[in-house]
Chain A
Amino acid sequence: MGLGILFFLSSGLFLGWSLGANDAANVFGTAVGSRMVRFRTAATVCSVFVILGAVLGGAGAANTLDRLGSVNTLAGAFTVALAAALATFAMTRLGMPISTSQAIVGAIIGWNLYAGMVTGTRTLSTIVASWILCPLLAAVVAVALYIVMRQILRRGHLHLLRQDALVRWGLLLVGAFASYSLGANNIANVMGVFLPDNPFRDVTVLGVTFSGTQQLFLLGGTAIAIGVMTYSERTVRMIGSGLMRLSPEAALVIVGAQALVLFLFASERLEFWLASHGLPTFPLVPVSSTQVVIGAIVGLGLMRGGRGIQLRPLGSVGLGWVATPVVAGLVAFFLLFFVDNVFDQQVARVVHYRIDDTVLARYELEGRPAARVAAWSGREGANALRLQNELEREAALTRDEAQRLLELAELAPIVVDLGRAGLDLDRDYLGVVETRALATLAGQRYEHRWQFADALAAASPLWRLRKETPLNRSWNASVRDKLAYVERVFREQPAP
């Protein structure tokens, strides 16, 4: 891995550092503020578990960000992460409860606009819905936990000192869980945009495979941990004592509610478990820990009759919902322009689209209105946004229909050249059956990504995507990862 790549990753690390400096306050602020846990202890526990969460559970929310917009060059990813970090920094200076999740989403949309890419509207609406759902859910969970805890304390007749010891340990344990959830949920904000250009390869140590994604997330998690250790003390103390005076028991409830809500929106395993028991699942998206904490505090406040709730922080949350993504999007757009034109760095790889007969046939096969776009056969373009608008306007397609057509029309020539000099195919990662299926396509050329995927799926069931349900999510994620890998390996390189 060259120094150049490290330089590009630095903006993500900066974003991770600022996330650590700010969001650790949400996890341990109330515990430190209520003088139950020392700052140094809190920072150490938070750092360790943030890294664990990022490495072991970070994949779920990262996949969702990838679907929002796939930043396709390292310089682009650098600029997007830098824009999010700068927006986060600016909002913090203005004293607004910031959300790195909203900043990164805004910055990715800024990149989409600059690069002429379409924004996955379905994914975007899922993410925005989760921003509204999250504080509400946190409030409900906090009230439920509060009621349960009050009953336990009333019936348990614990000595004040024993209760104090239990709450103290509870704060540490639940804080560790919340830190894990924060790492798992928010690592996507920090490193998600670098996933398409991840410089790390899978390594196996003592029979345990450490994926490239996990190594990237380890780096991001470490940046978050350094932010926690070096710069979070001031915000931790401010959240703990400034926002609202809380008893240690209420602090425990709030940290617990935060941990649960972040975990619900981060854990692939939990999603699988819920789905396999016929229960509703939550979208795996990066959510704002700040807003979760504020939701939990307001929930407790309302339960006590609404006295003592300050409306100002609530107003700031509402403003933050709108302002953070907008500011991050604008900063990203201007930074991309600057990096592109002043430093002459490629911030986005141009993607070409061609609507041909094979694309239309496949479109029809999916039950989509191919007849309405029959006249478009042979149309080409390099600006997805413009094509999408024209399809919506002229062919009367819905946004979802237009986006799907463009996905199919994307040109990504792939040549399965197994004899290419220097070809370094990771057969262990792909698996024996999958590699054998790939070998049957030797010498073939595909114009579109989906053609290559279809050919692989026909060659072996292990390359087949299953129906999109939470139960199949991990299978599909694994197949997509492998597909992305072989596409990268066999992508036809443009002539110099």
Chain B
Amino acid sequence: MPIFRTTREIERQIDEFLDALSKGALVFRDAVAAYLAGNGTDFAQKLRILEELETRADRLSRDVESSLYSQSLIPEHRGDVLALLEHSDDIIDRAKNCLQRFDVERPVIPQQWHDHYRRLAEAVFRCVEAVVMASRRFFREAESVSDFLYQVHHYEGEADQIGLELRRQIFADPDLELGHRQHLRYFADGIDRVADMAEDVADRLAIYSLKRRL
């Protein structure tokens, strides 16, 4: 129908934005795994893909913002939607920064903690994936957003647990220099921070979805 022409385009942009976020989380997880496996080429390729996804998400977010304002759409929820996109964009931005630091600083991660880092990245991926699902529901079915928010909190908690355990083990290892310990902690924190940001978005979604209900 012609009356939906404009909105269909913006719907497509929002969906594409969320796709980029979801794919970004997946690429982030695989990139950490590639780094741990010592596969530099694969890691570099994943980093490039994530950079591209981040750029695309930025552009889509700006386009949606411009359309919503210029056409005075969803006046009641415009602020919420724009804040949602902006903070979701921060997640992928943070993931990209984390991978760039891996690329620049090349942390030496002892074999015994590879599994912890891998599990940490997996929990982050699931957490972001859940927040993407919750965001999709926010646009179509606000009542069921809370089902996915529960998952976000669950995986963020899991990431916190893995990160804490990792830091505990790192600082309990007498063979490591203090600088090395701090370097490893820094990367554990960097990965964990992505999940924290996803949880921030989930907290906002909880309020936005309440407002959306009539």
Query: Does B associate with A?
Result: yes
Q: A: which residues have CB within 8 A of B?
A: 34-36, 38, 146, 149-150, 153-154, 157-162, 164-165, 169, 247-250
Interface centre among B72, B74, B212, by most chain A C-beta atoms within 10 angstroms, is B74
Q: Are B214 and A161 in contact (CB under 8 A)?
A: no
Chain A's nearest CB lies how many Å from the CB of B70? Answer: 13
Q: Are B77 and A160 in contact (CB under 8 A)?
A: yes
Chain B's nearest CB lies how many Å from the CB of A47? Answer: 22
8 Å CB interface, B197-214 against A: 212, 214
Number of residues of chain B lying within 8 A (CB) of chain A = 22
Q: Are B3 and A248 in contact (CB under 8 A)?
A: no
Q: Are B143 and A154 in contact (CB under 8 A)?
A: yes
Distance A250 CA – B76 CA, assembled complex (angstroms): 12
Distance A248 CA – B214 CA, assembled complex (angstroms): 10
Q: Which of A34, A38, A157 contacts B76 (CB 8 A)?
A: A34
Mark contacts of B68-79 with chain A using CB atoms, 8 A cut-off: 1 yes-contact digit, 0 otherwise.
000011111100
Chain B's nearest CB lies how many Å from the CB of A414? Answer: 59
Q: Are A161 and B11 in contact (CB under 8 A)?
A: yes
Q: Are A162 and B4 in contact (CB under 8 A)?
A: yes
Distance A162 CA – B141 CA, assembled complex (angstroms): 12
Q: Are B73 and A164 in contact (CB under 8 A)?
A: yes
Residues of chain B with a CB closer than 8 A to A169's CB: 3
Across the two chains, which residue of chain A brings its CB closest to B68?
A161
Q: Are A160 and B214 in contact (CB under 8 A)?
A: no
Secondary structure dominating the interface of B? helix
Chain A's nearest CB lies how many Å from the CB of B171? Answer: 47
Q: Are A158 and B140 in contact (CB under 8 A)?
A: yes
Interface centre among A150, A159, A249, by most chain B C-beta atoms within 10 angstroms, is A159
Q: Are A157 and B140 in contact (CB under 8 A)?
A: yes
Q: Does any Cβ of A come within 8 Å of B120's Cβ?
A: no
Residues of chain B with a CB closer than 8 A to A247's CB: 76, 214
Distance A34 CA – B72 CA, assembled complex (angstroms): 11
Mark contacts of B111-140 with chain A using CB atoms, 8 A cut-off: 1 yes-contact digit, 0 otherwise.
000000000000000000000000000111
Residues of chain A with a CB closer than 8 A to B161's CB: none
Write 30 A-B pairs (CB below 8 A) sorted by A numbering. A34-B76, A35-B72, A35-B75, A36-B75, A38-B72, A146-B214, A150-B214, A153-B214, A158-B140, A159-B140, A160-B74, A160-B138, A160-B139, A160-B140, A160-B212, A161-B7, A161-B10, A161-B74, A161-B139, A162-B4, A162-B11, A164-B7, A164-B73, A164-B74, A164-B77, A165-B6, A165-B7, A169-B3, A247-B214, A248-B76
Residues of chain A with a CB closer than 8 A to B76's CB: 34, 247-248
Residues of chain B with a CB closer than 8 A to A158's CB: 140
Across the two chains, which residue of chain B brings its CB closest to A154?
B143
Chain B's nearest CB lies how many Å from the CB of A300? Answer: 10
Residues of chain B with a CB closer than 8 A to A165's CB: 3-4, 6-7, 73
Q: Does any Cβ of A come within 8 Å of B91's Cβ?
A: no
Across the two chains, which residue of chain A brings its CB closest to B81?
A160
Q: Are B7 and A250 in contact (CB under 8 A)?
A: no
Distance A247 CA – B138 CA, assembled complex (angstroms): 17
Residues of chain B with a CB closer than 8 A to A150's CB: 214
Chain B's nearest CB lies how many Å from the CB of A15? Answer: 35
Residues of chain B with a CB closer than 8 A to A154's CB: 143
Residues of chain B with a CB closer than 8 A to A36's CB: 75
Chain B's nearest CB lies how many Å from the CB of A218? Answer: 31
Mark contacts of B46-86 with chain A using CB atoms, 8 A cut-off: 1 yes-contact digit, 0 otherwise.
00000000000000000000000000111111000100000
Across the two chains, which residue of chain A brings its CB closest to B143?
A154
Distance A159 CA – B139 CA, assembled complex (angstroms): 5
What 4 A-B pairs have minimum CB-CB distances, sorted nearest first? A35-B75, A161-B7, A164-B74, A165-B7
Distance A146 CA – B138 CA, assembled complex (angstroms): 21
Distance A158 CA – B4 CA, assembled complex (angstroms): 12
Q: Are B141 and A157 in contact (CB under 8 A)?
A: yes
8 Å CB interface, B69-110 against A: 72-77, 81
Mark contacts of B177-196 with chain A using CB atoms, 8 A cut-off: 1 yes-contact digit, 0 otherwise.
00000000000000000000
Chain A's nearest CB lies how many Å from the CB of B71? Answer: 10
Q: Are B3 and A161 in contact (CB under 8 A)?
A: no
Q: Are B7 and A159 in contact (CB under 8 A)?
A: yes
Across the two chains, which residue of chain A brings its CB closest to B137?
A157
Residues of chain A with a CB closer than 8 A to B140's CB: 157-160
Q: Which of B6, B7, B81, B214 contacts A249 (CB 8 A)?
A: B214
Mark contacts of B1-24 with chain A using CB atoms, 8 A cut-off: 1 yes-contact digit, 0 otherwise.
001101110110010000000000
Residues of chain A with a CB closer than 8 A to B81's CB: 160
